[in-house]
């Protein structure tokens, strides 16, 4: 149990400091560690927890406390939450003090622009990893593609798409 908590703290402490572009960029590494390295849960469970976190309100990193709780109960939840939000928050506090000094430096814009392709690549990787995990039947691939198409074209609230996906799944159609 303690080993698990230490592993969770190390995993999320690291991810906290490299999550440039937010929670979705660290999803593949979370998946790799949680499913492939530590075997804490199956890929299907991981995808389900991710989907649950998307269906809940709030910031898009809520999958982290949920995974911590699923792996190691309440202590896992607390440790994961502290580890994923702590280091980046401390960095934010430090950076706020230095920020005004570097505001107009050219290298600041270069760092910001240089990190953009990296976050794009990481989010694309997240989409690939999650899609591969969930789309084991044609019906799920169809739901994924339809949700992606609708979300790209219409300004529909994401919750409607999640609800529609859940409903189609619930009927068992095509499974």
Partner 1 sequence: MAPTTIEIFRGFLLLGLSGFGGVLPLARHMVVEERKWLTADEFVELLGLCQFLPGGNIINLSVAIGLKFRGIPGALAAILGLIAAPTAIVLALGAIYVRFQSHPQVVHLFAGLAAAAAGLLLSLAIRIALPLWRRPLAVPFAAACFLAIAIFHLPLVPTMLVLAPLSIAATMKIGA
How many whole angstroms separate alpha carbon 118 and alpha carbon 46? 24
Nearer residue to partner 1 within complex by CB, 6 or 159? 159
> Shortest Cβ distance from residue 7 to partner 1 (Å)?
14
> Shortest Cβ distance from residue 9 to partner 1 (Å)?
15
Which residue in the block uniquely carries the two structure tokens 């309440």?
A: 74
How many whole angstroms separate alpha carbon 172 and alpha carbon 80? 34
How many whole angstroms separate alpha carbon 161 and alpha carbon 89? 32
Nearer residue to partner 1 within complex by CB, 2 or 172? 172
> Shortest Cβ distance from residue 5 to partner 1 (Å)?
17
> Shortest Cβ distance from residue 3 to partner 1 (Å)?
20
Residue 15 structure tokens: 């991810």
- Does residue 48 contact residue 34 with C-beta atoms inside 8 Å? no
Q: CA torsion sign, 86 to 120 to 24 to 37?
A: negative
Nearer residue to partner 1 within complex by CB, 4 or 146? 146
How many whole angstroms separate alpha carbon 30 and alpha carbon 43? 11
Nearer residue to partner 1 within complex by CB, 5 or 29? 29
How many whole angstroms separate alpha carbon 105 and alpha carbon 108? 6
Radius of gyration (Cα) for the chain, nearest Å? Answer: 18
> Shortest Cβ distance from residue 95 to partner 1 (Å)?
6
Nearer residue to partner 1 within complex by CB, 6 or 60? 60
Nearer residue to partner 1 within complex by CB, 6 or 138? 138
> Shortest Cβ distance from residue 77 to partner 1 (Å)?
7
């Amino acid at each position: 149990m303690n080993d698990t908590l230490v592993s969770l703290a190390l995993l999320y402490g690291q991810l906290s400091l490299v999550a440039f572009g937010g929670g979705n960029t660290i999803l593949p590494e979370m998946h790799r560690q949680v499913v492939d390295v530590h075997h804490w849960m199956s890929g299907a469970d991981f995808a389900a927890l991710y989907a649950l976190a998307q269906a809940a309100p709030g910031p898009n990193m809520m999958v982290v406390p949920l995974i911590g709780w699923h792996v190691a109960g309440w202590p896992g939840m607390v440790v994961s939450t502290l580890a994923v939000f702590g280091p980046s928050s401390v960095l934010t506090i430090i950076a706020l003090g230095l920020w005004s000094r570097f505001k107009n430096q050219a290298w600041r814009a270069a760092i910001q622009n240089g990190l953009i392709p990296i976050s794009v690549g990481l989010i694309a990787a997240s989409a690939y990893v999650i899609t591969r995990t969930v789309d084991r039947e044609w019906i799920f691939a169809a739901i994924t593609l339809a949700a992606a198409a609708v979300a790209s074209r219409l300004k529909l609230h994401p919750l409607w798409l999640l609800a529609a996906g859940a409903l189609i799944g619930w009927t068992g159609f095509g499974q």
